[in-house]
Amino acid sequence: MSVNKYTAPAMAKEKEMRALSIIPVSDENKVKEALKHLKHLVRKFRPLMLAMESCTKCGHCAENCHTYLGTRDSNNIPTNRADLFRKAWKATHTLEGRVFGKLVGAEPLTLDTINKMYAYFYQCNECRRCALVCPFGIDTCEVTFAGRQLLHWLGMVPSLHASVGEAMYRTGNHTGLPKPGLVDTCEFLEEEILEESGVDIKIPIDKPDSDVLYIPSSADFLLNPETMMGAARFFHYLGINWTMSSAIAEAGNFGLLFDQRYTLRFNTMRLLDEVIKLNIKKVVWGECGHGWRAGKMYVPSMTDRPVPVPIVHLHDETAHYIRTGQLKLHPEVNNKPITLHDPCNFSRACNLGAKLREVLNPCVTDFREMTPNHERNFCCGGGSAILFDDPGMYDLRIKFSAKKAEQIRATGIGENGDGYLVAPCSICKAQFYPILEEHDLGVQVKGLIDLVGNALYPPINI
C-alpha cells in the first residue's frame, strides 16, 4: 500500500477487500486500470459525462459547499473535486486536452492523482448542494460516486466502509448483529416502552404474514433506541400488522456510497427476497438519509425483478396520518426549543422536506427553523458516512460541520443547554453525537419519530 500524503481515512487491508470479492490492484498497475474504469464510467453515465464536459468553472459552487467553507482547501471546491476526474478524462479522451494540455485543465493520470482522489472523494459528503446551485445542474455528487466506484475497483476503500459492506453481506445489517442480538434488543426496548409510557407494545422480528415491513437503520437498535421505540409506538397506535426482518434490518445501503454495482444490487435484492418471504404488502423505510435515497431512487433501477410492493418512507406515512387527523398528539410533552436539520438526501433527493415539517410542527411546542432550510440546508458534515475516527479525518469532520454549528447557534435553541436538534437520519445522528459536543452547542440530537412516539404516548412519569 502506498503512503498517502493527503489527509485520508485508513484504507481497508487486502483481507478486508477480498471479503468484498475485490483483489486490490498493485501500485504499478493502478493508473492503467483506473484509465480503463474511467472510460467505462464516463461513457456510461450521462450526468458524469456532462460534469466532465460542460462545466464553465464559474466557481459558484465554492461558497455553497460546506467542506470548502470549513477548510478553505481549494481541492474541496466541488468543481475542483470533479477536476480530479476531469483532468484525466480531458487528457485522454478530448481533442482540446490532447492539444492544449494544462492550458485547458488537462493532466495525465498519475498514481499521485489516484491517492489524491482517495483523499478528496472521501472528503465529499455527497450532499448535492453543488447540484442545487449549479446553473447547469451539474451534480458533483455523481462524480464522487464514480470516483469512489473506480477506487473500489482498484481496491481502495476506507476500512469503515469495507467493514460495513462486509457486515451487510454476512448479517444483513451494518452493525453485524445476528438475529438473537436483534431479538434481545427488541425485547429490552419493549420493556423500556412499558416502563416509560405504560403501554405494552411489541417490536416484532421476522413475523410471517405481516402487512408492513419496517426497514430500520441498524443503528436504531443500539445508538438511537428512541427512534426504534418511536416507530414501534407509531405502528402500534394505528394497529398496523408490522414486522422487521433479521435478513434486512438495515435502512442504509453502503453500496450507494462506495460500490453502486454489486453491493448496491445485493442489498436491494435482499430486500425484495424478504418481501416475498414474509408476504409483505408495503415496505416502510426508517430514518436514514442515504438509505432512503437508495430505497426510493435506486431500487427501481437496480433490481433484477419488478418491485412487487410500494416502498414509502416512514414520514410519508406519519405526515399522511397527521394530515388526515388520525393521530391524537400531545405536543406539550415535547416542550424544549427545537430545530430541524434537513438531511441532504431527504430534502434534495427524496422530496421529504415539506413532510418533515408537517410531522414535526404538531408534535412540538417551540419549533424554530434554521436558515437556510429545506433543500438549501447545509450538510451535517458526516454525509456519505465519512464518520472516520482517524485523528486527521475527525478534525475534518469538525471543520465540515462548522457551517452547521453556526446555523444551529443562530436559532438560539441551545441557549439554556436544553435544545433538541431533530435529525431524522442515522448518519446525521452519528455525526452530531460527538460534533455537537465539539462545538459546545448545548443541544441534544433526536430523531423525528422519537418525538412523534412521545407525543402519541406521553411518558407517565413527567
Partner 1 sequence: MTFFILQVLPYIAVMIFIVGMVWRLCRWLKTRNVHNVVLTPTPKTSCGVAVRYVKEIFLFRSLFNGDKSLWAGAWIMHVTLAGIIGGHIVGFAFLGQQFIYMGVSADTSVFLSKLLGTTFGVILAVALLYLLYRRLSINEAKLTSYFADYMHLILLLGIVSAGNFMRLVPGYSVGFEVPKIYMIQLATFQPVTIDPLMNTAFIIHLLLVQILLIIFPFSKLVHLVGIFVNRLTVDRSYVEPAPGMPVANAGVSVGNAASSGKKTT
Q: Which of residues 394-453 bind partner 1 (CB under 8 A)?
A: none
State the nearest-atom distance from the C-beta of 44 to partner 1, in Å: 6
The number of angstroms, rounded, from the C-alpha of 36 to the middle of its chain's C-alpha atoms is 29
Check if the beta carbon of residue 166 is closer than 8 Å to that of residue 21: no
The smaller minimum CB distance to partner 1, of residues 42 and 193, is found at 42
Answer for which of 85, 89, 121, 298 binds partner 1 (CB under 8 A) is: 298
Stretch that binds partner 1, among 118-126, 218-226, 317-325, 446-454 (CB under 8 A): 317-325
Give dist(CA 171, CA 184) in Å, integer: 16
Residues numbered 356 to 385 that lie near partner 1 (CB under 8 A) are 374-376
HSE toward the beta carbon, residue 88, CA cutoff 13 A: 26
Is residue 94 near partner 1 by the rule CB under 8 A? yes
Give dist(CA 322, CA 118) in Å, integer: 45
The smaller minimum CB distance to partner 1, of residues 51 and 333, is found at 51
The smaller minimum CB distance to partner 1, of residues 79 and 123, is found at 79
Q: Is 97 exposed, middle or buried (0-12, 13-18, 19+ CB in 10 A)?
A: buried
Residues numbered 266 to 295 that lie near partner 1 (CB under 8 A) are 281-282, 284
**Which residue, chain included where needed, has cell 464553465?**
56
Is residue 342 near partner 1 by the rule CB under 8 A? no
Length of the chain: 462
State the nearest-atom distance from the C-beta of 128 to partner 1, in Å: 7
Q: How is residue 347 annotated by DSSP?
A: I
Answer for which of 349, 408, 445, 456 binds partner 1 (CB under 8 A) is: 349
Residue (of 404, 295, 433, 417) closest to 340 by Cα position = 404
Give dist(CA 424, CA 420) in Å, integer: 12
H or E segment to which residue 144 belongs: helix 140-154
Is residue 120 near partner 1 by the rule CB under 8 A? no
Beta strands in 301-441 (DSSP E): 311-313, 337-340, 366-367, 419-422
Residues numbered 14 to 43 that lie near partner 1 (CB under 8 A) are 42-43
| Per-residue interface string for the shown chain with partner 1, residues 214-253, x marking contact by CB under 8 A | ------------------------xxxxx-----------
State the nearest-atom distance from the C-beta of 46 to partner 1, in Å: 4
Stretch that binds partner 1, among 146-154, 178-186, 199-207, 315-323 (CB under 8 A): 315-323
